[in-house]
Structure 1
């Protein structure tokens, strides 16, 4: 009898613990249920709509993300560079290429918990489309790093994981996002301090 009670308790612990771990793991992953990847950038196009799956809703609620409607805004998150390596704050990167058509967009750097980063002089690590210098072909070139760089520069400092969050507002292509359907900039590693 005691053996059955212990086995039942063990089964419950494994089931509840395993279920909680799998739910946590699923919510932590950017790629997965409801995600659409475009190069290094991942989005959840159904976020903020009635068609959003429970995992997408839970992921947004857990992060405290603002769930904009499909045509109001689309959030893209990058956690890897073009070689597939995780983005790190102690490295320098260059973001180059075309950006999707949008009335306005913002780009900010965040830590592993998606808290916006600030540079050493307390400047928010963010840029928006109206302050950018563009290339002659209308593409962008943005440098990320701790040291000031000429042109478009997004200051990052410290150690640890780095997330880049690109939010498109009032984008004509947002209603029909499919795999690799929008032109997205490429993230290239320039070097690392550690």
Structure 2
């Protein structure tokens, strides 16, 4: 009887630890196979047959369709380069050069992956419409109030994430060069 109780207790502990770590991975994201450049993080194997089981479960839970390895690569930023959480009540600037790509997009989402609502119904920029500086760099402001230049309204949401997708890009195919990828800086300027 004592052996049976010990086995049941061991099973209960193992099951709770296993399920707890799985739930944690599903809610907080997975660091497996990711690489980070500044504030930006990417999971290049997500759209390939080499996807890890936690990322597969996260995709099944969210219902999103990942980019295939031959199509390009996506980067996500939830914090700025200094680790401050991206807050829709703050003015944020995304500036610098972008990696080589035929086309790119930058989109503003809430933490659940939905587009952030705003009165202009503007949710992002693309490489075809962004106004660049004379040196080819971009400067996009994310703020609750209108700004000069490339302005993306944040709608004053408490938290958001930025997703940059690069289509037909060598970093989507050759991920070993990912850490040297020139990604734009993300910086919180001021909060109201």
Calculate the TM-score normalised by the size of structure 2.
0.89
C-alpha contact 1:75 1:168 (8 A) present in aligned 2: yes
C-alpha contact 1:71 1:172 (8 A) present in aligned 2: no
Distance in 2 (alpha carbons) for counterparts of 1:122 and 1:63: 27
Distance in 1 (alpha carbons) for counterparts of 2:74 and 2:56: 14
Cα offset for 1:18?
Answer: 2.7
Cα offset for 1:132?
Answer: 0.3
1:89-128 to structure 2, matched below 5 A, reads 89-119=88-118, 121=119, 123-128=121-126
**95-104 or 51-60: bigger deviation:** 51-60
Q: After superposition, what is the alpha-carbon deviation per residue over 1:160-185, rounded to whole angstroms, capped at 9, x for unaligned?
A: 22111111111133211235221100
Distance in 2 (alpha carbons) for counterparts of 1:134 and 1:151: 9
Q: After superposition, what is the alpha-carbon deviation per residue over 1:18-77, rounded to whole angstroms, capped at 9, x for unaligned?
A: 322211222334461111111111111112111222222222222222122212021110
Distance in 1 (alpha carbons) for counterparts of 2:13 and 2:130: 52
**9-18 or 72-81: bigger deviation:** 9-18
Distance in 2 (alpha carbons) for counterparts of 1:170 and 1:47: 16
Q: 1:122 to 1:3 in 2, by over 3 A?
A: farther
Q: How many residues align?
A: 191
Confirm or deny that 1:138 pairs with 2:136.
yes
Distance in 2 (alpha carbons) for counterparts of 1:159 and 1:113: 12
Over 6 Å off, 4+ runs: none
**Residue of structure 2 in register with 1:71 after alignment:** 70
Distance in 2 (alpha carbons) for counterparts of 1:152 and 1:89: 16
- Structure 2 residue matching 1:75: 3-state secondary structure: strand
Distance in 1 (alpha carbons) for counterparts of 2:46 and 2:165: 13
**Residue of structure 1 in register with 2:42 after alignment:** 43
Q: After superposition, what is the alpha-carbon deviation per residue over 1:67-91, rounded to whole angstroms, capped at 9, x for unaligned?
A: 2221202111011101112212221
Aligned-residue RMSD, C-alpha:
2.1
Distance in 2 (alpha carbons) for counterparts of 1:67 and 1:177: 16
Structure 2's unaligned 5+ residue stretches are none
Structure 1's unaligned 5+ residue stretches are none
C-alpha contact 1:47 1:67 (8 A) present in aligned 2: yes
